[in-house]
Amino acid sequence: MTIKEIVDKYGSERENLLQILHDIQNQNPRNYINKESINALSKEMNIPVSQIKGTASFYSMFSFIPRGKYVIKVCESPPCHLLGAESIFKAIEYKLGITIGETTKDGLFTLERTSCLGICGVAPAMMINEDVYGNLNEEKIGKILDQIQEQEKERKQLCREEALTKF
Sign of CA dihedral 23, 28, 30, 33: negative
**Contact pattern for other proteins over residues 45 through 74, marking x by CB under 8 A:** ---------xx--xxxxx------------
Contact, 136 vs 126, CB < 8 A? yes
Applying CB under 8 A, does 127 fall inside the site for other proteins? yes
Cα separation values, 122 from 1, 19, 94, Å: 37, 29, 23
Amino acid at 118: G
Applying CB under 8 A, does 82 fall inside the site for other proteins? yes
Applying CB under 8 A, does 21 fall inside the site for other proteins? yes
Applying CB under 8 A, does 99 fall inside the site for other proteins? no
Q: Give the footprint of other proteins on this chain (CB under 8 A).
A: 13-19, 21-22, 54-55, 58-62, 76-79, 81-82, 114-123, 127, 130
